[in-house]
Each structure stands twice: as structure tokens, then as C-alpha cells.
Amino acid sequence: MAQDTTPPQVAATATQTTNDLGGAVTLLGTFGSQNDPQALLKLRGGKTTTVSRGDRVNGQTVVAIEDGRVALARNGTAHWLDMPAPNA
């Protein structure tokens, strides 16, 4: 059953305050099924986008999505983009 609002304690835990997470693309989360995984990315400038395998973002192709990480490839070289570490 869907909720209309996020409980305050969940929002506080899931929210990270920062001015710059240190890159052109930041992984905010992964979700979906094993057959259709998706990821929420934050791009430079603050725009967010949802991607699936095969999508292109900032000249890179999404080649894999796993729990908490996304593989992006450009010119035959891939790298993993992991979720930012939580603030202490």
C-alpha cells in the first residue's frame, strides 16, 4: 500500500545534506526488480534522472545496476559508481 507522505524519521535518515558530492554524476539509489533494475542519479547542476541498463548519461552508457551501485562505460572502459557514504 502506498503512502502519501514519507514519515519524518525515514526522511531524516535518507536525506544527506551537501553542496557537492564530488563528481559529475552521483548515485542516489537503486530500485526495481532483478529483471528491470533502475537507478536514480543526480547530475551536475542538481538535475535528477532515473536510468535503466542501456541508457546514456553524460556520454556514458549504463551497463549494470546492482544493489547500491551502477556500472557506467565509455569507450570500452567501465567503472562502478557507488552510493555516497552516510554522514557520521
Which carries the bigger pLDDT value, residue 13 or residue 58? 58
pLDDT at residue 19, as a whole number: 45
Range of the domain at 70: 22-82
Q: What is the DSSP string of 47-82?
A: -EEEEETT-EETTEEEEEEETTEEEEEETTEEEEEE
Amino acid at 81: L
- Domain membership flag for residue 1: no
For the entire predicted model, the pTM comes to: 0.70
What is the domain-level CATH number for residue 39?
Answer: 2.30.30.830
- The average pLDDT across 25-47 equals 93
87 domain residue, yes or no? no
> For 37-65, how does the pLDDT look when each residue is reduced to its tens digit (9 = 90+)?
999 999 988 899 999 999 999 899 999 99
